[in-house]
Amino acid sequence: MPDIVGDAAATARQWVRWQAAPRRRGLPPAFVAQVGCVENHLVPYAHEFDCLFIGGSTAFKHADSTRALVRAAKRTHVGRVKGSTV
């Protein structure tokens, strides 16, 4: 799914615009979580996406709110984490 690196609101707008396209092609849609998406209620419901990609900063990747997103997702991929694994 298209995302805007470092911009949770713009990424959420991209999600709204493009989320149906992969399903029409038989592909699973993935949502990219960015810093600020949880606090600003920009994450779609877990049943709306098949994979969650965790982008953003290392601190965001380690945050409790991000861990809660991971637990709710069907599948998750975490982008590069500096210094450790999540």
Is 14 inside a domain boundary? yes
Rg (CA), the chain: 12
Short-list 46, 48, 66, CA closest to 58: 66
Average pLDDT, the chain: 90
Place of tokens 């419901």: 45
Is 86 inside a domain boundary? no
Is 60 inside a domain boundary? yes
How many independent structural domains does the chain possess?
1
Whether the CB-CB separation of 43 and 63 falls below 8 Å is answered with no
Is 32 inside a domain boundary? yes
User: What is the three-class DSSP state of 54?
Assistant: strand
Question: What tens digit of pLDDT does each residue of 70-86 get?
Answer: 998 989 998 876 655 44
Is 59 inside a domain boundary? yes
Is 84 inside a domain boundary? no
Question: What tens digit of pLDDT does each residue of 54-70 get?
Answer: 998 999 999 999 999 99
Boundaries of domain holding 37: 8-78
Does residue 40 have a pLDDT over 90? Answer: yes
